[in-house]
Amino acid sequence: MRLQGTETAGEPAAAHSCPGLVELASGIDALYLSGHGDVPPALLEDLEASRVRAEGSSDPQRFSLGDLDLIVQPRGWGKYRYSLEHEHARFGLTSSAELPPLRVQPRSEFLHAVGSDGALAWVFEALDPVIEGLHLSASRLDLYADWQGWSLTADDRSRFVCRARRLDTHEEGEAFTGVEFGRRKTGTVTARIYDKTRQVEDKGLDWWAGVWGPRYDGRSRVLRVEFELGRQGLRQFGVQSATEAVMSAPGIWKALTADWLSYRDPSADQTRARWPVAAEWLLVSRAQFAADALGLQRIREGKQAGSLRKLMPFLVGSLSSFGALVGAEDVEDTLAALPGHLYDYGLVSKTSFSKRVERKAVPVSAA
């Protein structure tokens, strides 16, 4: 594959715009890292002791890794025996000589809060004092561009030209929700085009509205074009280190949208690869990759808003049922009766309400 994208064969000379199609954001949405260096044996011994405690306890097991305050999970992360959670990232460590000793996955919201460069700098700053000779390589890179104004449907699947043979279309009822190209297990390149608005709604990812900014029209869907590059795919572009992955992202996007996947306008030619490139895809190939870092506070506020939006229907339903049972007439009566019942339940269950709140505040594994 070539790193610098060029004009695709069959591209119409004048088709450099598509009225109504708006780019909302583009850049890096996932960056998986492998860490190399010398992990102190004492650190692994302490981790083993914390994991054993985590396996036998329902309470969070806190662990200090340099200046980081982490939570040790009772189970591993894939082939990595030790899994540790932080608000900004997930960490995996192992004593196995067959694997890189360290695995790091910055969370998507952290990448968008501080930018890819900022996230990498944070990881280096956190781990460099702990891991001697630290070097971070890239094991996965997800690139994205979000658009409004593209009326893509399941019937348009035949207009795509892709190097991968596999194509899967997804629909819910009669609604088109996405299309996938390639297979992840190859470790090379896969692509997805899907309704990001639906995902935001379903998962409570309301912070994305802040990433999209003022151009976002909440009345129409957002379509995401996304490429996932595994370790082998990155090596095809000559990418080894984490820094190279971040710096090469715009060029990789141009190459993939020129040579690996494209969207065409049908013509009389029997060979789809000779159909002219559609105006929509010309814009997609020119994604700006200039998303601003949104800031941690705005991301937190968006996450909280999304979580509350998802929680409120269940909370209101439960509280109204509770109010009816205790004979409450309004919100004030219901809330006044609640503390005593929460205290009694804490005694019966042997877990206080404050302890449950503490557990919920612990970072959870990224999806």
Distance CA 311, CA 308 (A): 5
Q: pLDDT (tens digit, 9 = 90+) per residue, 242-296?
A: 999 999 999 999 999 999 999 999 999 999 999 999 999 999 999 998 766 666 6
pLDDT of 1 reads: 53
Low-confidence residues in the chain, pLDDT < 50: 2, 4-15, 364-367
Check: CB of residue 138 under 8 Å from CB of residue 242.
yes
pLDDT of 216 reads: 93
Which residues are 72's β-sheet partners? 61, 84
pLDDT of 312 reads: 79
Cβ atoms within 10 Å, residue 356 = 14
Distance CA 194, CA 170 (A): 9
What is the three-class DSSP state of 289?
coil
Backbone angles phi, psi at 347, to 5 degrees: -65, -45
Cβ atoms within 10 Å, residue 231 = 17
Distance CA 20, CA 6 (A): 25
Distance CA 117, CA 104 (A): 15
Q: Exposed e or buried b for every residue in 192-210, given b needs 16+ CB within 10 A? A: bbbbbbeebeeebbbbbbb
Burial of 126 per CB tally in 10 Å (0-12, 13-18, 19+)? buried
Strand 189-195 with 102-106, pairing: unpaired
Distance CA 202, CA 210 (A): 17
Using CA of residue 34, residue 39, residue 45, residue 50, what is the dihedral sign? negative
CA contacts within 13 A on the Cβ side of 112: 25
Going through the chain in order, the beta strands assigned E by DSSP cover: 22-38, 61-65, 68-72, 82-85, 89-93, 102-106, 132-148, 160-162, 167-172, 175-181, 189-195, 223-229, 261-263
Amino acid 99 reads L
What is the three-class DSSP state of 112?
helix
Q: What angle (nearest 5°) sits at the alpha carbon of residue 237, between those of residues 17 and 100? A: 130
pLDDT of 69 reads: 92
Scan for tokens 């598509």, then name that residue: 18
pLDDT of 353 reads: 80
pLDDT of 282 reads: 96
Which residues are 89's β-sheet partners? 106
Scan for tokens 């959870």, then name that residue: 364
Distance CA 222, CA 162 (A): 22
